[in-house]
Amino acid sequence: MLTKKQKNLLLFINKKLRSTGVSPSYEEMKESLNLKSKSGIHRLISALEERGFIKRLAHKARALEVVKLPETASANDIYNSFSPSVIRGGLDDKNLGNKSGSEIPVLGNIAAGTPVEAIQNEVMRIPMPDNIEKNGEFFGLKVKGDSMIEAGINDGDTVIVKKADTAENGKIVVALIDDNEAMLKRIRRKGKTVALESANRNYETKIFGPDRVKVQGVLVSLYRNF
């Protein structure tokens, strides 16, 4: 069980890592918690490390890695710590040329709101983003709806998904419901139930039995036109 300050610091570190790829400085951590000295940050970091929530990376200054997030973190806590990797303007017609020759298929639409029919056949191909490790299979889907906007995913974005049939709790996935409907949601499993969470306060969490939900892939990046 984490204290409130430990939890807040952990979420702040996670948010900073996701948005910049670099651990926050002790000064930034001190300011985020409104502490008067850095000694309190050192104690909190040590406590989080002892409990297995973070680890220090050897031979790197300011290098921390978040190993896990607390189960007591609310959905809004985790949404606020999520920053998708956005490729700006990537799908304008003038940008569809791919110098590397590596492309991935776009398989139609995915609902970020109410469900749509299951994933369709290939409708176009887009360049593979340069910032993605090329191990595995990938596909794209056009987002329809606004239920994931608090996770930085907007109506009209094209999400890049890595094929997978499993996902860790808290990951944003393409979930296939009853082999018929596909949704882009954050997945959580607890006991014999599967929760598919929206990132929009106007949408309710959907609860299913374990046999009704199949993971099709995990979100890794997205294209957005500006």
> Tens-digit pLDDT profile for the chain (226 aa)?
788 899 889 988 887 776 666 788 888 899 888 888 888 999 999 999 998 889 887 665 568 888 887 765 554 454 455 555 666 555 544 444 444 458 888 888 887 765 555 666 778 888 887 767 778 889 889 998 888 888 888 888 899 999 999 998 889 999 999 888 889 999 988 888 999 999 888 888 899 998 999 999 999 888 876 6
- Residue 164 buriedness (CB in 10 A; 0-12 / 13-18 / 19+): middle
Q: Which residues does 74 contact at the CB level (< 8 Å), separation at least 6?
A: none
**What's the token pair of residue 152?**
């930085």
Q: Which residue segments constitute the domains of the chain, with CATH numbers given? A: 4-73 (1.10.10.10), 86-224 (2.10.109.10)
Q: Which are the catalytic amino acids?
A: 147, 185
Cα atoms in the 13 Å half-sphere on the side-chain side of 54: 26
- Residue 49 buriedness (CB in 10 A; 0-12 / 13-18 / 19+): middle
3-state secondary structure 162-215: EECCCCCCCCEEEEEECCCEEEEEEEEEECCEEEEECCCCCCCCEEECCCCEEE
CB 46 within 8 Å of CB 85: no
